[in-house]
Amino acid sequence: MGAEVARTALQTLADEKLKDAQILLAAKSWSNAYYLAGYAVELALKACIAKTFKAETIPDKDLVLATYRHKFRELVGTAGLSAELQKKEQAEQGFAANWGVVNLWSPDALYASSTEKAATELVAAVSDTKDGVLVWIKAHW
């Protein structure tokens, strides 16, 4: 994210990355499916953060810098969703399990090989229509 990116563009990109991850998973391209599924979550969380910016106002420098982080829990905090995440994890075991899988991802996955199991689990954890992480994030973006 070196250039200016609109919240709606981040939302679209998150959906596109997940769709690409699903296509790559079906094509048995495990590493790329794994990376893109995690990247979809990162983009979605950044869309939540973008929602907090006010038009015609210079945002706090720390907020801007925090937006460029890659750790999901930190991004959740920057988006102001930590309490919501904690409640969701405590109330819904399926979501908590999915969040646990998703939270293992890091951008370093770009430089690593992934297994079929890891890629399948991550794509499922992100895309699950009932307890998926992306469904939860979309409720807040």
- What the chain holds in terms of domains, given with CATH numbers, is 7-138 (1.20.120)
Q: Check pLDDT > 90 for residue 54.
A: no
Average pLDDT rounded to a whole number, residues 52-58: 81
Q: What mean pLDDT do residues 14-18 have? A: 98
Q: What is the pTM assigned to this prediction?
A: 0.90
**Residue-wise pLDDT tens digits, 24-51:** 999 999 999 999 999 999 999 999 999 9
Q: Which of 111, 106, 136 is nearest to 122 (CA)?
A: 106
- Look at residue 22 and give its three-state secondary structure: helix
Token pair, residue 81, equals 């969703």
Mean pLDDT, rounded, of the chain: 93
Residue with tokens 């979605």, as numbered in its chain: 44
Residue 1: is its pLDDT beyond 80?
no
Lowest pLDDT segment from 31-40, 62-71, 110-119: 62-71
pLDDT computed for residue 2 by the predictor:
55
Q: Residue count of the chain, please give it.
A: 141
